[in-house]
Amino acid sequence: MNTSTLTHSQTTQARPWWSFGMVWMIIAGPALVVVAGFATLYLAVTIPDPVLPTEALNPRNAIENQRQLDAAMAPAMQARNHAATGLVPQKQK
C-alpha cells in the first residue's frame, strides 16, 4: 500500500442516511398510506351513511315494491323489445 491510498480512504466520510434519495422513496410509501388512512377516517366520521327506513326491509312490502317497479319499467321494456325485434307492441285491452 502506498501513502496516497491510505490518505484517500481516511478522508472519505460516510454520508448521512437522509441524504440518499432512495431512502425517502421507501419512506414515502408507508407515509402516504398513513395519510390516506386518516383522510378516509375523516370522511367516514364526517359523512355518515344514511339510515334506511324499516319499510324497505319488510318482506311484505318487497312484493308491493316489485309490482311498482315492474309497472314503472314497462315503457322501457317495451322500447327495448321493439328495438330488438322491430315489432310494435300491441296494447292490451
User: Rounded to 5 degrees, what are φ and ψ at 11?
Assistant: -85, -20
pLDDT digits (tens, 9 = 90+) for 8-24: 555 678 999 889 989 99
Whether residue 23 contacts residue 17, with contact meaning beta carbons closer than 8 Å, is answered with: yes
Distance CA 27, CA 72 (A): 55
Cβ partners under 8 Å of residue 17, min gap 6: 23
CA atoms within 13 A on the CB side of 26: 6
Distance CA 30, CA 28 (A): 6
- How sure is the predictor about 28, in pLDDT bands with cuts at 50, 70 and 90? very high
Mean pLDDT in the chain? 77
